Amino acid sequence: MTLQTVATAVGVSRMTVSNAFSRPDQLSAELRRTILAAAEDLGYVGPDPAARALARGTTGAVGVLLTESIGTAFSDPVSATFLGALAERLGPTGLALALLPSARVEPEPVPARDVPVPARDVPMDGALVYSCLGDTPALGWLQRRRMPLVFVDQRPVGEAASVLMDDRGGARAAAEHLLALGHRRFGLVALDLVEPPGEVADPAGAPWGHVTGERVLGWLQPLAAAGVVPRTVRVAADTEQAAAAAVRDLLRGPDRPTALLCFSDVVAWGAVWSARDLGLRVPQDLSVVGFDDSWLAKLVSPTLTTVRQDLVAKGRRAADVLVAEIERRRSGSRTPAVHVVLPTELVVRQSTGPVPEP
């Protein structure tokens, strides 16, 4: 079955049938329904996607370069919500998502060009770079391809667009909240933090991700102004188990912190686990603040005081910016790339309280 088969059956031209599939705005709704119904009856599924992409100059797909494995991205409540909102927003545009792993090591051995490397070989009109460290080879491939890029949760490279959250402002609000409750012994539970944090003035040059750097600096600013020197632990992974293990020693002894500022809600909940194992009550003995306001923060007991980022708004805005960047590149526009910073908000719940009595 071909375009001509359908055209003959309906009594229209091949171009009219083609428009029914790829340019529906060129036909009346009634004629398009007639053509699609005839195509279905004849078993014709439409023009070959590869040929149609070549003719239109578009692949119909955009990539998402993920910070970790694809499986991890869907199990994490923050990235899963973001990706869901992104895909939903892109749906009406006709663009599909291609998920790209960001492994820092190329497949071994690599005998020839025909070994598939997704960031190098998958046809795409543009890509989102979602919180990836800059040394991943996958990002290098995307840059070499000179396609439209939008960086999410990290500083953009070159002239690329970006969608960021006000992580520093949100972290500052969390620290100020605990200071106002009287806390002066603090622990910082950060992801991929290189110690000591005081030696780093600018996270752009630090060997950790943008988000961690911004949150650490947001915590440190009000603490330093109050004369507080926090104790810091590094969490190797954004999981409850890793966080619980990382803070266990921090919570032992008479000089333990009375308040913890945590990289995420997942890390905060792991800290609560560890505190309970040591016989500490939250918030009576220890106040804990998370970040993200994921579904976890609302379901656990005690519910978590946290910094809210609107993950759905971030996914939708990232989709809008990427579509705009693709159109900007196609039109040859010289307007500068868009840089968006979305607000954060402190949400006070049950996991924080006044400093314990001595």
Model confidence over 179-215: pLDDT tens digits? Answer: 999 999 999 999 864 433 333 333 334 455 678 889 9
289-303 pLDDT tens trace: 999 999 999 999 999
Ramachandran class of 116: left when φ > 0, alpha when ψ lies in -120 to 50, beta otherwise: beta
Residues 237 and 262 in one domain: yes
CB contact at 8 A, 148 and 325: yes
* pLDDT, averaged across the chain: 85
* pTM for the structure as a whole: 0.79
Specify whether 157 is located in the same domain as 264. Answer: no
Burial, 8: exposed, middle or buried (Cβ in 10 Å; 0-12, 13-18, 19+)?
middle
Q: 283 and 206, same structural domain?
A: yes
| Structure-block tokens of residue 303 | 């519910």
Residue 185 sits in which domain range? 167-309
* Number of domains the chain is built from: 3
Q: Give me the CATH number covering residue 209.
A: 3.40.50.2300
Question: Is there a single domain that holds both residue 172 and residue 305?
Answer: yes
Residue pLDDT, tens place only, 69-107: 666 677 788 888 999 999 999 988 888 898 888 765 444
The verdict on residue 237 lying in a domain is: yes
295 is a domain residue: yes
243, 266 Cβ separation under 8 angstroms:
yes
Q: Is residue 354 part of a domain?
A: no
Quickly state the pLDDT bin for 250 (edges 50, 70, 90).
very high
- Domain of 29: which CATH number? 1.10.260.40
Residue 15 reports pLDDT greater than 50: yes
Q: How far is CA 238 from CA 58, 94, 109, 144, 264, in A?
A: 37, 33, 31, 31, 8
94-125: b (≥16 Cβ within 10 Å) or e: ebebbebbbeeeeeeeeeeeeeebbbbebebb
pLDDT bracket for residue 273 (50, 70, 90): very high
Q: Are residues 81 and 161 in the same domain?
A: yes
**Does residue 137 surpass a pLDDT of 90?**
no
Question: 3-state class of 345 per DSSP?
Answer: strand
Same domain, 135 and 190: no
- pLDDT, tens only, 33-58: 999 999 889 988 776 655 555 555 56
89 and 44, same structural domain?
no
